[in-house]
């Protein structure tokens, strides 16, 4: 869970607070000592302060300091979590499946296959402004990273977190991605499409059968975007404690070759014309333009009465409540401390001579 601040500039007050607090207590101490020295005899001062507990003074000081810190945090308006809101929307349901297997680190397309896939997904979202977009990450297994939403910020935040450690299981299972995407699509009567960004190195997961089930049961087509060199392949860089090297298997450097054939066959299940397969290879491409030319024209947009939008609720009230509780604690301790010397005035007051 990531915390964000709606007013992060207020956090600068945390830097100003310590010197201001030190200056205030120094001035307060000097002033109180001067006043007590003027109006109270030295032999009576120790008796008046006998009822003041050092521990309670420290607790009061700590409560006051923490209360101010929590108030500053409340002013910064911390936000975490998600709240789903119902809004009206017009568009498609698009699930983007991004391959996060280690082969996607190959640098045959700049900066590497995975980074380029993430940039392409960003381009898609910029164009799909009236569409709901969801995100699936897959390697040897797959899971839903971001459910269908029209909140671009939520999708982008989820996309930025993707890396080759996102899934615990290595390899590439295209069928797992397709099946996970199927679960992500809701039972609503709008047009749906699955966009896969991958090098296609499938490890016997039967993706064609999964794509056929997706099409025959739900009429959901697959747009397969193939990234990487399908001829010579490319080495896979890995980082170690000794620097960067290239992935090896049994003493030989591993070359990752994109599998265009399997991705073409997956896409042709729903579109035999081949328009659903995009052999990007190592070339630059704009998925936003592909959305305009190949995805949006396939479907007649229809209005969906209720959709979901993600918003981050402010959690400032919790910090304000904590500050209030600490101020109440400070007030209670102040009253307690003030009452104790008063109870002992008889003991420290000078006795009249007889």
Q: 54-63, 123-132, 166-175: lowest mean pLDDT where?
A: 54-63
C-alpha 260/C-alpha 272 separation (Å) is 15
In the three-class reduction of DSSP (H, G, I as helix; E, B as strand; rest coil), residue 142 is classed as strand
In the three-class reduction of DSSP (H, G, I as helix; E, B as strand; rest coil), residue 192 is classed as strand
- pLDDT score, position 301: 43
Phi, psi angle pair for 146, to nearest 5°? -140, 120
- The mean per-residue pLDDT over the stretch 154-177 comes to 88
- pLDDT score, position 250: 80
Domains of the chain by range and CATH?
A: 4-80+314-348 (no CATH), 87-310 (3.40.50.410)
**The pair of three-digit structure tokens given for residue 243, joined into one six-digit string:** 């620097």
C-alpha 119/C-alpha 286 separation (Å) is 9
For residue 338, pLDDT over 70 is answered with no
Instruction: Give 43's pLDDT tier (boundaries 50, 70, 90).
Output: low
pLDDT tens, position by position, 234-262: 898 887 777 778 888 787 888 889 999 99
- 84's enclosing H/E stretch is strand 83-90
- Cβ burial of 36 (10 Å; 0-12, 13-18, 19+) is middle
- 257's enclosing H/E stretch is none
pLDDT tens, position by position, 99-153: 999 999 999 998 999 999 999 999 999 888 778 899 999 998 999 999 999 888 8
- In this structure, are residues 58 and 330 in contact, taking their beta carbons and an 8 Å threshold? no
C-alpha 174/C-alpha 261 separation (Å) is 13
């Amino acid at each position: 869970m990531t915390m964000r601040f709606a007013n992060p500039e207020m956090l600068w007050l945390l830097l100003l607070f310590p010197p201001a607090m030190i200056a205030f207590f120094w001035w307060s101490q000097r002033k109180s000592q001067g006043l007590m020295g003027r109006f109270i005899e030295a032999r009576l001062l120790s008796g008046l302060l006998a009822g003041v507990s050092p521990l309670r003074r420290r607790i009061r000081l700590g409560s006051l300091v923490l209360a101010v810190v929590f108030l500053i945090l409340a002013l910064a308006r911390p936000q975490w979590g998600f709240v789903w809101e119902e809004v009206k929307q017009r568009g498609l349901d698009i699930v983007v499946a991004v391959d996060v297997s280690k082969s996607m680190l190959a640098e045959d397309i700049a900066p590497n296959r995975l980074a380029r896939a993430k940039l392409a997904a960003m381009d898609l979202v910029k164009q799909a402004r009236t569409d709901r977009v969801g995100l699936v990450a897959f390697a040897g297994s797959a899971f839903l990273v971001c459910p269908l939403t029209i909140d671009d910020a939520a999708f982008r935040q989820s996309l930025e977190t993707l890396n080759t450690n996102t899934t615990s299981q290595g390899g590439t299972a295209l069928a797992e991605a397709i099946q996970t995407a199927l679960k992500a699509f809701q039972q609503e009567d709008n047009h749906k499409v699955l966009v896969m960004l991958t090098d296609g190195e499938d490890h016997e997961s039967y993706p064609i059968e999964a794509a056929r089930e997706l099409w025959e049961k739900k009429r959901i087509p697959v747009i397969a975007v193939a990234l990487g060199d399908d001829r010579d392949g490319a080495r896979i860089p890995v980082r170690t404690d000794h620097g960067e090297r290239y992935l090896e298997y049994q003493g030989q450097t591993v070359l990752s070759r994109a599998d265009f054939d399997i991705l073409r066959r997956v896409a042709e299940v729903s579109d035999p014309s081949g328009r659903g397969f995009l052999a990007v290879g190592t070339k630059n491409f704009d998925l936003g333009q592909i959305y305009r030319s190949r995805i949006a024209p396939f479907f007649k947009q229809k209005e969906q009465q209720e959709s979901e939008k993600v918003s981050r609720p402010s959690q400032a009230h919790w910090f304000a409540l904590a500050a209030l509780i600490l101020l109440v604690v400070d007030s209670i301790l102040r009253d307690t401390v003030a009452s104790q010397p008063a109870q002992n005035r008889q003991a420290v007051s000078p006795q009249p001579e007889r």
